[in-house]
């Protein structure tokens, strides 16, 4: 019988999968080391278990102890799984830019999660690094894993991920592509592969807003390079001790948008539902494709599963709000909004009541509805002209001041078509969604969508 004694024995030995569609124009094969097949759905399971095992061996983690770590989510999941099996408690600090799914998953496996601000210096007492360190000092029988500076991080990948990739490619790998965060994965795998074949190229993928790329190129820690970014799981505002830059051959930076869009492409075109870093990893390779030759064999490490990003990169509204997806139709404009309920008035409302609604909700156009029937429209410009000529109109009914109803279009009408339907006399258009609810698009909405 082939039976695992516990969930930790399923960590590692993840598949190497050929990419076919996205990379079809590249001169060489591209393979993905898909580490979301680990039980915690990420590559971090490997180093999480290793850090605990080494801490146990060194006497730093004792029975009934508390594991403390600052994590973007994935390391916490690996640590939490190990804690479940081994009987430890967990307290994790994370940043407010991490997806809600990650935090909820950590809580589901018994961890306590403390959310800290993102946009503070690492040494700030509010940062998730500092809070974790403080808790480790204050809580008896606790162990701060400190994945950034803990050598067990890269040791895990030197002992497992690197050898797996070498064996799975029969030693034919020529390029390793990996996002760079704590430094454990890229350095550990690189150390092993370089021992086997010093000619193997190690390409580290970074994000704009991280200081790692400039540090690699100049040796200078330049805090002016640091600015907020949306990408999750890689990039840093300091240089973790796990890095050995001598085993890395090149750093390549990828934008937040390009990484997110590529992750969605990987899901749709390759059938691999991966996280943000996988998209950035493959995007980085695509930016460097001119450096590849026919005889090469490139391996990209896909760190984690897309389920952690359902409310972010796999959410159309989230993507469009950040300008990451092109707005193409009436439906796209509506989906990009945070508030979707249509504001309307009845023919029996007074003009002054309608004006108050316009001011309260900062809108220029309001459809007039009698029950479920569109009977007219009110516009700020039209009311201004009428009230200017007749101040008493404000006490009259909307019916006496309304304009013709806005044109009704299909929910999937292209943005370019909407532009021709919205005129000086007609400042908006309406459409019904799949549920039969009305939505409005104005001239401003069209201009805003085309300007992104």
The pLDDT tens digits for 175-202 are 999 999 999 999 999 999 999 999 999 9
Q: Residue 397's closest CA among 340, 350, 353, 452?
A: 350
- Report pLDDT for 359: 86
- Report pLDDT for 358: 86
The pLDDT tens digits for 5-20 are 999 999 999 999 999 9
Q: Residue 392: pLDDT above 80?
A: no
Q: Residue 98: pLDDT above 90?
A: no
Name the pLDDT band for 450 (thresholds 50, 70, 90).
low
- Report pLDDT for 61: 94
Q: Please say whether the beta carbons of 251 and 204 come within 8 A.
A: yes
Name the pLDDT band for 137 (thresholds 50, 70, 90).
very high
Please compute Rg for the chain using Cα positions.
28
- Report pLDDT for 301: 98
Q: What percent of the chain has pLDDT over 70?
A: 98
Neighbours of 37 (CB within 10 A): 19
Angle between helix axes 44-57 and 74-86 (nearest 10 degrees) is 50
Name the pLDDT band for 47 (thresholds 50, 70, 90).
very high
Pair type for strands 30-34 and 16-18: antiparallel
The pLDDT tens digits for 229-265 are 999 989 999 999 999 999 999 999 999 999 999 999 9
pTM, two decimals, is: 0.77
Neighbours of 450 (CB within 10 A): 13
Name the pLDDT band for 431 (thresholds 50, 70, 90).
very high
Q: Please say whether the beta carbons of 442 and 418 come within 8 A.
A: no
What whole-number distance in Å separates Cα of residue 310 and Cα of residue 314? 5
What whole-number distance in Å separates Cα of residue 105 and Cα of residue 76? 10
Q: What percent of the chain has pLDDT over 90?
A: 68
Name the pLDDT band for 101 (thresholds 50, 70, 90).
confident
DSSP structure string for 97-134: TS-HHHHHHHHHTT-EEEEE-SSS-TTSTTSHHHHHHH
The secondary structure of residue 337, as a DSSP letter, is -
The pLDDT tens digits for 51-81 are 999 999 999 999 999 999 988 788 999 999 9
Whole-number mean pLDDT of the chain?
Answer: 92
Give the residues across from 115 on adjacent strands: 94
- Report pLDDT for 355: 87
The pLDDT tens digits for 282-320 are 999 999 999 999 999 999 999 999 998 998 999 887 888
- Walk across the sheet containing 112-116 and list its strands: 112-116, 89-95, 66-70, 142-144
Residues 6 or more apart in contact with residue 338 via CB below 8 angstroms: 317, 321
Q: Identify the residue whose tokens are 């007074």.
A: 350
Catalytic site residue 257?
Answer: no
- Report pLDDT for 452: 58
Pair type for strands 408-409 and 373-379: unpaired
Alpha carbon of 213 to those of 67, 147, 198, 328, 439: distances in Å? 31, 20, 22, 35, 46
- Report pLDDT for 327: 72
The catalytically annotated residue of 4, 33, 44, 60 is 44
Mean pLDDT check: name the lowest of 88-102, 178-192, 196-210.
Answer: 88-102
Q: Residue 147: pLDDT above 90?
A: yes
The pLDDT tens digits for 343-373 are 999 999 998 888 888 888 888 899 999 988 8
């Amino acid at each position: 019988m082939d039976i695992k004694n516990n969930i930790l024995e399923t960590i590692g030995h993840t598949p190497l999968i050929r990419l076919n569609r996205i990379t079809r124009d590249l001169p060489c094969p591209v393979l993905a080391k898909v580490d979301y097949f680990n039980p915690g759905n990420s590559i971090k399971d490997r180093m999480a278990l290793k850090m605990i095992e080494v801490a146990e061996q060194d006497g730093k983690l004792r029975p009934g102890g508390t594991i403390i770590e600052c994590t973007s989510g994935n390391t916490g999941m690996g640590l939490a799984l190990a804690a479940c099996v081994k009987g430890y408690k967990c307290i994790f600090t994370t940043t407010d830019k991490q997806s809600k799914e990650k935090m909820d998953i950590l809580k589901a496996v018994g961890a306590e999660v403390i959310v800290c601000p993102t946009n503070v210096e690492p040494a700030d007492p509010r940062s998730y690094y500092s809070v974790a360190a403080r808790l480790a000092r204050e809580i008896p029988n606790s162990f701060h894993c400190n994945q950034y500076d803990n050598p067990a991080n890269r040791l895990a990948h030197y002992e497992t991920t690197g050898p797996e990739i070498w064996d799975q490619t029969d030693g034919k790998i020529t390029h390793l592509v990996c996002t760079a965060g704590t430094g454990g994965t890229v350095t550990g795998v690189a150390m092993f592969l370089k021992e086997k074949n010093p000619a193997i190229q190690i390409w580290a993928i970074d994000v704009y807003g991280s200081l790692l790329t400039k540090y690699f190129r100049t040796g200078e820690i330049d805090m002016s390079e640091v600015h907020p970014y949306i990408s999750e799981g890689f990039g840093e505002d300091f240089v973790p001790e796990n890095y050995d830059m001598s085993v890395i051959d090149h750093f390549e930076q990828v934008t937040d948008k390009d990484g997110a869009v590529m992750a969605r492409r990987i899901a749709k075109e390759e059938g691999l539902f991966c996280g943000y870093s996988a998209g950035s990893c493959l995007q980085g390779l695509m930016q460097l494709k001119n450096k590849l030759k026919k005889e090469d064999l490139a391996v990209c490490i896909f760190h984690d599963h897309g389920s952690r990003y359902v409310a972010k990169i796999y959410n159309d509204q989230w993507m469009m709000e950040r300008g990451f997806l092109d707005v193409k139709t009436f439906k796209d404009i509506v989906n990009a909004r945070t508030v979707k309920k249509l504001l309307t008035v009845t023919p029996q409302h007074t003009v002054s009541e309608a004006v108050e609604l316009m001011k309260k909700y900062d809108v220029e156009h309001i459809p007039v509805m009698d029950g479920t029937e569109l009977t007219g429209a009110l516009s700020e410009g039209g009311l201004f002209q009428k009230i200017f000529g007749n101040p008493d109109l404000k006490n009259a009914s909307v019916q006496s001041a309304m304009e013709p109803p806005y044109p009704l279009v299909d929910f999937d009408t292209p943005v370019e078509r909407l532009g021709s339907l919205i005129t000086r006399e007609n400042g908006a258009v309406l459409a019904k969604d799949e549920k039969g609810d009305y939505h409005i698009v104005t001239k401003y909405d069209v201009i805003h969508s085309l300007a992104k």
